[in-house]
Amino acid sequence: FEGCQGLEVYMDVIKACFTAIKSRDLAEHYRKYLQWCADSSIAKALEPYLLGGWPDTLDSIRWPGHRREV
């Protein structure tokens, strides 16, 4: 998909879960990709494998410039 720089997937064997980290050229490229996932059957197909489903996955995205309180 446009702007994709890479995808890293890590497995936590203790929690038996995966974490995916995607890098994009621009946040707008990723927004377009997410919209495509939502408009196609991709989001529905992934739903059973996503912790908290598609909505929680969208909420977990950390956008550039996002800061968390420490």
Give residues with Cβ within 8 angstroms of 59, minimum separation 6.
52
Flag whether pLDDT at 2 surpasses 60. yes
DSSP code per residue over 17-67: EEEEEEEES-HHHHHHHHHHHHHSSHHHHHGGGSTTHHHHHHHT---TT--
Flag whether pLDDT at 68 surpasses 60. no
In this prediction, residue 49 has a pLDDT band, given cuts at 50, 70 and 90, of confident
Question: For 51-64, what is each residue's pLDDT tens digit?
Answer: 889 999 889 888 87
User: Partners of 20 in the beta sheet?
Assistant: 9
Going from the C-alpha of 24 to that of each of 19, 30, 35, 47, 64, the distances in angstroms are: 17, 6, 15, 23, 10
> What's the predicted TM-score (pTM) here?
0.69
